[in-house]
A and B are shown apart, each in its own frame.
Chain A
Amino acid sequence: MAASVRHLLKPWTPSLCFARWSRYNPYYLDPDPSKDAPDSELSPEQKELQELKTVRPIKAALSSDTSSTFNDPLISKFINMMMQDGNKILARGIMTQTLETIKRKQVEIYHRSPAAKRLEIECNPYTIFQKALENCKPIIGLASVQKGGKSYQVPVPLTDNRRRFLAMKWLITECRDNKHRRTHMYEKLSQELLAAFANEGNVVKRKHDLHKMAEANRAYAHYRWW
């Protein structure tokens, strides 16, 4: 009975198409801006997803999602997090300057080093950004749980989105607050990203502090109920 009645709960789709707003019914699928066909063979689940895309309604694409090869969702997310008061132009400018600075620094190190060490030096700023962000992501977080009138900090697994958000947030706040006032943001960011790439620096230290706190509170792990 429940199964037959549940089909009445299919979501309502509007007949008019509005400009993109941020809260959609979960029935809507995300837009896929890539023009080219996928490189590798698709697994059966991915084939099913492709079939679904021909039938289901799709959310309107953001104006920042392009089909060009330079469109990186991670970088776009970081730009959005850096943006203040809707000044996307400034945030994008800072990001491009950061990537350029990283490239310049790495190329200088590359040319200065002997031939034996040259292969190890990474010059691609995009891979440096991704690796640095990976190194900044925490693995376990702390959640505040109230039990018996007292609130405890309980170690808790985090979702991927939450981890990515925390890594980006820590990077940005670290660069905004704890650096010298007279340096440009792109300079501060490039320093912090290169340090995180080598597993040093304040952001990675903050991640380690969080892990240490989780390790110290491991006795409270059973206070979780989810």
Chain B
Amino acid sequence: MSRSVIQEKVAKLLSRQNGKPVLRPIKPLALKNEVASRRLKKGEATCVTEMSLLLACWKQNDFNNSVCSKEVSVFYRCVEKAQNMAKGKQGTQGRLLPKEANTLLKRFPNLSSEI
């Protein structure tokens, strides 16, 4: 039902009957079967404070790992947490990722021409 309404509007925008046409398309007005892959937001470096503490401990104790074992374990825990966060955050927030959308569109494309 709404499809014919849209087609009428497009026809009106393209027609030369009421003066110059509003749209002068070079490519056909149809959606592509893929989504543009968005650039991810640039994140910050994770666990920099723990790393700096570890490096300071090393400098004081001549890179002895047994003495700095507490800093080492804290650093490992922070790294694991950061990894889990990075993995979990990617696919959430209600939207499909561009990669997933492209896979689906490839399997169920909009047919633009008759086969």
Given contacts A2-B95, A157-B79, contact A214 B104 (CB under 8 A): no
B110 within 8 A of A: no
Judged by a CB distance under 8 angstroms, whether B35 is at the interface is no
Residues from chain B with a CB closer than 8 A to the CB of A221 are 45, 48, 51-52
Q: With a CB–CB cut-off of 8 A, which chain B residues contact A159?
A: 83
Which residue on chain A has the smallest CB distance to residue B66? A199
Q: Are A9 and B48 in contact (CB under 8 A)?
A: no
Which residues from B are CB-within-8-Å of A218?
51-52, 55
Residues B75-94 near A (CB distance < 8 A): 75, 79, 82-83, 86, 94
Interface flag for B15 (CB, 8 Å): no
A1-31 near B? 1/0 per residue, CB < 8 Å = 0110110110000000000000000000000
Among A135, A139, A215, A226, the residue within 8 A (CB) of B86 is A226
B54 and A140 contacting across the interface, CB-CB below 8 Å? yes
Q: Which residues of A contact B (CB under 8 A)?
A: 2-3, 5-6, 8-9, 135, 139-140, 155, 157, 159, 208, 211-212, 214-215, 218, 221-226
Q: Are A139 and B96 in contact (CB under 8 A)?
A: no
B14 CB to nearest A CB, Å: 32
Q: Residue on B with the closest CB to A157?
A: B79
7 additional A-B residue pairs with CB within 8 Å, beyond A157-B47, A215-B55, A226-B46: A6-B96, A139-B65, A221-B48, A223-B45, A224-B45, A224-B48, A226-B86
Cβ < 8 Å to A, chain B residues 42-65: 42-48, 51-52, 54-55, 58-59, 63, 65
Cβ of B72 within 8 Å of any chain A Cβ, yes or no, is yes
Chain A residues positioned under 8 Å from B45 (CB to CB): 221-226
Interface centre among B44, B58, B82, by most chain A C-beta atoms within 10 angstroms, is B58
**Chain A residues with CB below 8 A from B104, complex form:** 5, 8-9
The answer to whether B44 touches A9, judged by C-beta atoms less than 8 angstroms apart, is no
Among the listed A3, A212, A215, A222, which residue makes an inter-chain contact with B48, where contact means beta carbons less than 8 Å apart?
A: A222
CB neighbours (8 Å) of A135 from chain B are 65
B78: shortest Cβ distance to chain A, in Å?
Answer: 8
**CB-based contact A225/B55 at 8 Å:** no
Asked if A226 and B43 sit within 8 Å, CB to CB, the answer is yes
User: CB < 8 Å: which of B44, B51, B63, B107 contacts A157?
Assistant: B51
Which residues of A have CB within 8 Å of B95?
2
Which residue of chain A lies nearest to B72 when distances are taken between CB atoms in the complex? Answer: A139
14 residue pairs A–B, Cβ–Cβ below 8 Å: A2-B94, A2-B95, A8-B104, A140-B51, A140-B54, A157-B47, A157-B51, A211-B58, A211-B63, A221-B48, A221-B51, A222-B44, A225-B42, A225-B45
CB A104 to nearest CB in B, in angstroms, measures: 28
- With a cutoff of 8 Å between Cβ atoms, the chain B residues found around residue A3 in the complex are 94
Q: Separation in Å of the B115 CB from the closest CB of chain A?
A: 22
What A residues does B42 contact at CB under 8 A?
A: 225
Known: A139-B75, A226-B43, A226-B46. A2 touches B52 (CB 8 A): no
Contact B96 A5 (CB under 8 A): yes
